[in-house]
Amino acid sequence: MSRPNAGTQPDPWRSPIIVAQIPDAGLHRELTASASERQAMAELAGLRDILSAQAAFDVTPKSGNRIQVTGHVRARVGQTCVVTLDPIESEIDEEIDLVFAPEAEARRLADLIEEGQDDEEPPEVVDPPEAIVNGIIDLGRLATDALFLAIDPYPRKPGAVFEAEVIAPDPEDHPFAALKALQDKKKGK
């Protein structure tokens, strides 16, 4: 998943877990973004502000060194209505269900799925797994990406409707009005 300006700024909300330290029974993590993390995320996403951001994840080891991450991200974001330009707030509640695999395997499976030859892949997994980079899964970055993808790019205040001003055309205002005026002037003489 990519974010705006991802290459130029560090991740604002970080919560890395080391895959090798995940117990066989899995683990549960609850995250709450601090005021400075929310401010950095708002700047990165071009939002007025992020009033709150929480995430809850269950991280479960699967066969083949894969890790399943399920959970949700909840946030309240401040935006500007595209119609009235009034400040508005929006609620975000995004479910997450992703499978992570070692980087080389994730690339191999992505290539197989692209070629349409995903015989080795279980039928319930349609997308290739996300890559585990350097043995770490960053739940903060995962939450940030989910939040950014759920933001309405064209927020509207409830009941706000864009209505274009309708002006009836003047019958004398057309491309040949000047020629008609000359013709009328000739006839009048």
Residue 125's pLDDT band (cuts 50, 70, 90): very low
pLDDT per residue as tens digits for the range 2-33: 444 444 567 899 999 999 999 999 999 999 99
What is the residue type of 183? Q
Distance CA 10, CA 105 (A): 26
**CA angle, 163 then 166 then 172, to 5°:** 165
User: Is the pLDDT assigned to residue 88 strictly greater than 80?
Assistant: yes
Q: What's the mean pLDDT in 124-129?
A: 66
**Tokens at 77, concatenated:** 């974001």
The whole-number average pLDDT for the span 60-89 is 93
pLDDT at 171 over 50: yes
Domain chopping of the chain, boundaries: 16-188
